Structure 1
Amino acid sequence: MKEQTDRAGRRVALVAARMTVDGKAMPVTIANASSTGLMVRCDSPPDIGARVDVERGDARVSGKVVWRRGRRFGFHSTGPMDPAVLVGAQPRDALDLLLDKQDRVPSRIAWPPRRK
């Protein structure tokens, strides 16, 4: 898990989570978190104004989408939240590793593969 804090008090972290929108759950990656919201990445970001729930482990936060660009969107929580609880140090699981690999773009692709 990559984690640091930027000057605005956001906790920067790439961690796997689950988002629910209109009763439909999907995997997401939390890119950063503050006491007022999250920046999240997913394949199909919800529309601006949509109500969403984001869960990671036992932590859950509800709120509203306030912006979206490409695969990212900003989420404003309906109440105060502790970003450390949602993105704090927890053991990495297979989903974390899978999402990390999907977000990386190889710098060079060798084709055809080399034979040894």
Structure 2
Amino acid sequence: MDESSQAQNRRERRSNVLLTAVIELSGRTLDVKLRNLSADGALVESDCLPVEGAEIRFKRGDLIVAGKVIWVRGTRAGINFHTPLTPEALLRHVPTPRPRVAPDFRRPGLASRPLSPSEKIAAARWAVTPAHDVPGE
């Protein structure tokens, strides 16, 4: 299944995150990285993932929800939750974005200070001196 078509067919908007989570499968637990989360599912990443169609329990903090592995591609897998998360539960596990820091600098101006007398003389000489030799000289 093409992942780009999945993104176009999603019912819920996913929030990009980078958090740790756990998948329980047949009595064993797998530590995974949670890449994104929505009310209907999650994208997880791990070197050891369950196969497509596996019934799992997804755990993140106090959130425990049953689901099914819908697809696996390399080290990433998509999980569909059997019961959608409430907006409150979802917001508890999606951190608020940090405010962007505006750069606190300004580009220096071309004339940040007046030229000294010797700099004025050098600039005047440079401005009237040709960049190349004049033919015949």
Scaled by the length of structure 1, the TM-score of the pair is 0.65
Mapped pair 1:64 → 2:68: yes
Is the Cα contact below 8 Å between 1:11 and 1:84 reproduced in 2?
no
Match of 2:33 among 22, 29, 34: 29
- Cα deviation for residue 54 of structure 1 reads 1.3
In structure 2, the residue matched to 1:88 is 94
Runs (4 or more) in structure 1 with deviation over 6 Å come to none
Is the Cα contact below 8 Å between 2:69 and 2:80 reproduced in 1?
yes
Match of 2:51 among 33, 47, 53: 47
The structure showing larger relative contact order (alpha-carbon pairs under 8 Å, at least 6 residues apart) is 1
The alignment-based identity, stated in percent, is 31
In structure 1, the residue matched to 2:123 is none
Scaled by the length of structure 2, the TM-score of the pair is 0.56
Q: For 2:39 and 2:95, how far apart are their aligned partners in 1?
A: 17
Q: For 1:32 and 1:75, how far apart are their aligned partners in 2?
A: 10
Aligned-residue RMSD, C-alpha: 2.1
Who wins on radius of gyration, i.e. which is larger?
2
Gaps of 5+ in 2: 1-7, 97-137
Give the length in aligned residue pairs.
84
Q: For 1:84 and 1:24, how far apart are their aligned partners in 2?
A: 28
Q: Deviations over 1:83-112 (max 9, x none)?
A: 323x3239xxxxxxxxxxxxxxxxxxxxxx
Which one has the bigger helix percentage? Answer: 2
User: What's the secondary structure of 2:91's corresponding residue?
Assistant: helix
Aligned AA for 1:17?
Answer: A
